Amino acid sequence: MTTVNIISLNKTYPNSAAPVLKDFSLSVHDGEMVAFLGPSGSGKSTLLKLITGIERPDSGDIHFDGVSILNVHPNKRGAVLMFQKSYLFPFLNVEDNIGFGLKVQGMSSASIRAEVKRMLNLIGLPGIEKRKSGQLSGGEGQRVALARALVTNPKLLLLDEPLSSLDTSVRINLQEAIRAIQRELGVTTIFVTHDLGEAMAMSDRMALLLNGEIVALDKPEALFHRPRSVAAAKFMGVSTFLSGNQPCPEQGRRVTVKNEVCFSSEKIFAIRPEHIRVQKGGCENSMRGVVSDCVFRGEYIEYQVDVNAATVRARMPMPAPMFPHGAQVFVKFPQEHLFEVT
Ligand code: ADP
Ligand code: MG
């Protein structure tokens, strides 16, 4: 339906020294769902506000299907925004909430009723037209908010952490529902979250955002298995980096290393925590360490091992050995799971 081009956007809020977005560019393809993953304050909501017209950029442009929308009134852009809270009108029932935008457009009551019914079927809540929005659970409220956003057939759907306030089970349920609906309608979507699992589960591509800049943009699988930079790897849950023959885990303290882990001196290698092995005996590519923490998580065990001055975090699927605090172990970095980062 819509291709979105974000071109060299810059935004600094008044009375603020640092820019929120710096020369920010991105293309979202027709029907694609792109997730923006970034810590709080990284500029995710600001980007969505610039697209909807709540804020204006200092420079740069935004195109929908090749046409700039910066001078189009926010109500006419065809970009709908859904937030963490549903912001339904509490005094209106579900039907009137969903149909509100259509009524403003002047659609007939009969057509609105039909559209609302279609949307309620789509979100998996048929027959709740007459319920007051105050009588909805958190998850139902967000489904209705999604229906309200989609009923006007928007060019672009913008989701700003819409699931953050929900319980895990409701949240996973809604992740699946939103993704299925997005695919079915083929609506171009930008989804903002600070949750890695959610971003991976819901997107065609993921953009990693740090201080107003994209540090990586790729398919979730590619970013997960082979992030190319240290910054991208950290986003993806990697905390162990080995440089040359000197491992330097995340704390940044350098480690005096045994020669088993041996590379040319200039390169940095990373390894995912689930590929690191914690074991009693030493072997190739292993280092001696002391267990500082060992947590049973059901499906896996999480270890923190002090290797000289730094902490290596590992996670091994069950069955895996539990080690007491202070146990002497070896941490192994299997060669085949090491990948180079810049
Ligand atoms: P995120 O959604 O990733 O948490 P935001 O886009 O909301 O980040 O905010 C990015 C930065 O801009 C933050 O440092 C925030 O404090 C600041 N900021 C957001 N809105 C305003 C505003 N209206 N005026 C001044 N600073 C703002
Ligand atoms: Mg935000």
Whether the CB of 56 sits within 6 Å of ligand 1: no
pLDDT band at 309 (very low <50, low <70, confident <90, very high): confident
Structure-block tokens of residue 55: 């804020």
Q: What average pLDDT does the structure give for the chain?
A: 90
pTM, two decimal places: 0.88
Task: State the distance from the centre of ligand 1 to the C-alpha of 138, rounded, in angstroms.
Answer: 26
pLDDT of residue 1: 78
Closest Cα partner for 310 from 235, 257, 245, 233?
A: 257
Whether the CB of 71 sits within 6 Å of ligand 1: no
Q: Where are the beta strands (DSSP E) in the chain?
A: 4-11, 21-28, 33-37, 59-64, 67-68, 79-82, 156-160, 188-193, 205-210, 213-218, 240-243, 246-247, 268-271, 277-279, 286-296, 300-307, 310-317, 328-332, 339-341
Residue of minimum CA distance from atom 13 in ligand 1: 41
Q: Does pLDDT of 244 surpass 80?
A: no
- CB atoms inside a 10 Å sphere around CB 177: 17
Element housing 180 (H / E): helix 168-185
- CB atoms inside a 10 Å sphere around CB 285: 20
pLDDT band at 263 (very low <50, low <70, confident <90, very high): very low
Residue 262 backbone dihedrals phi, psi, to 5 degrees: -135, 115
Task: State the distance from the centre of ligand 1 to the C-alpha of 46, rounded, in angstroms.
Answer: 6
**Ligand closest to the CA atom of residue 161:** 2
Beta sheet of 339-341, edge-to-edge order: 246-247, 240-243, 268-271, 339-341
What is the C-alpha to C-alpha distance for residues 275 and 335, in angstroms, rounded to an integer? 10
Across the range 323-337, mean pLDDT stands at 92
Q: Does pLDDT of 302 surpass 70?
A: yes
Across the range 229-257, mean pLDDT stands at 66
Residue type, 331: V
pLDDT of residue 21: 96
Residue with the two structure tokens 């039907």: 95
Q: Does pLDDT of 188 surpass 50?
A: yes
What would the pLDDT profile of 79-98 be if each residue is shown by its tens digit?
A: 999 988 888 998 899 999 99
3-state secondary structure of 252: coil
Of 82-91, 296-305, 309-318, where does the model show the most confidence? 296-305
Whether the CB of 193 sits within 6 Å of ligand 1: no
Residue with the two structure tokens 């529902």: 177
Who has greater pLDDT, 196 or 244?
196
pLDDT of residue 248: 44
Across the range 54-83, mean pLDDT stands at 96
Residue of minimum CA distance from atom 16 in ligand 1: 41
Whether the CB of 20 sits within 6 Å of ligand 1: yes
**Based on the number of CB atoms within 10 Å of its own CB, is 324 exposed (0-12), middle (13-18) or buried (19 or more)?**
exposed
H-assigned helices in 6-43: none
pLDDT of residue 50: 97
Q: Does pLDDT of 331 surpass 90?
A: yes
CA 329 to mean position of chain CA atoms: 35
Task: State the distance from the centre of ligand 2 to the C-alpha of 43, rounded, in angstroms.
Answer: 7
Task: State the distance from the centre of ligand 2 to the C-alpha of 44, rounded, in angstroms.
Answer: 5
pLDDT of residue 283: 83
Closest Cα partner for 307 from 324, 328, 283?
A: 328
